[in-house]
Chains A and B, each alone.
Chain A
Amino acid sequence: ETGVTQSPTHLIKTRGQQVTLRCSSQSGHNTVSWYQQALGQGPQFIFQYYREEENGRGNFPPRFSGLQFPNYSSELNVNALELDDSALYLCASSNPGLADYEQYFGPGTRLTVT
């Protein structure tokens, strides 16, 4: 059983650019959630994908968008990057049919916007 993986591990972008972050969910998990974690803060929910559809969203602007693929892997896209977007981006997978309160997190992508 493979765990949640994310790529890349680190990324440096310039303000105004666009970025795509990738996540492979744990085997057997069909739900992926994305979180933003600023330094010294708890993770903030961005959105969740279930069976390739966005089924919930947090308080993030539309320039944060995502996709989920048939194999349940997922992408997070951020357009028009701002300095405040610098953070650790975490994805977490889960399976609503099992212990759906337990989310398995990947190691994250550290994004720095300059």
Chain B
Amino acid sequence: GQSLEQPSEVTAVEGAIVQINCTYQTSGFYGLSWYQQHDGGAPTFLSYNGLDGLEETGRFSSFLSRSDSYGYLLLQELQMKDSASYFCAVRLNTGFQKLVFGTGTRLLVSP
């Protein structure tokens, strides 16, 4: 089976840096994606790690360690609009693009 673990909730203040961790146990691991979802909205793609290391996209960075089955999403210079749920999702090497999502981390950014 497949399992992903994330913290259920993280709180931070504007301007701060927050890290959301994701550990996974899967077979056929291909890569790790991160999605953001605001309440009532659609998940939107943030970042993808197919190889070990750090990927940086503006204020957001994502890291992957295949040997540790671990990744994280780093959000810098937090803004109120970053309050949302963040999902890590494993892309499986099944011959088609199957994503297995974690249960999500709710980020609350306060003034």
Contact = CB atoms under 8 A, between A and B. Distances in A.
Co-complex (A, B): yes
Interface of A: 4, 31, 33, 35, 40-45, 48, 50, 55-56, 58, 90, 92, 94, 96, 99-108
A56 B98 contact: yes
B107 interface: no
A46 B45 CA distance: 19
Contact of B99 (A4, A103, A104, A108): A103
B95 A56 contact: yes
A105 B44 contact: yes
Contact of B42 (A58, A101, A107): A107
Interface string B91-106: 1001111111111100
Interface of B: 4, 31, 33, 35, 41-45, 48, 50, 87, 89, 91, 94-104
B42 A106 contact: yes
A1 to B, nearest CB: 15
Contact of A102 (B45, B100, B103): B45
23 contacts: A31-B97, A33-B99, A35-B101, A40-B103, A41-B104, A42-B104, A45-B98, A48-B96, A48-B97, A56-B94, A56-B96, A56-B97, A56-B98, A58-B98, A90-B42, A92-B43, A100-B97, A101-B91, A101-B97, A102-B33, A102-B45, A104-B45, A106-B42
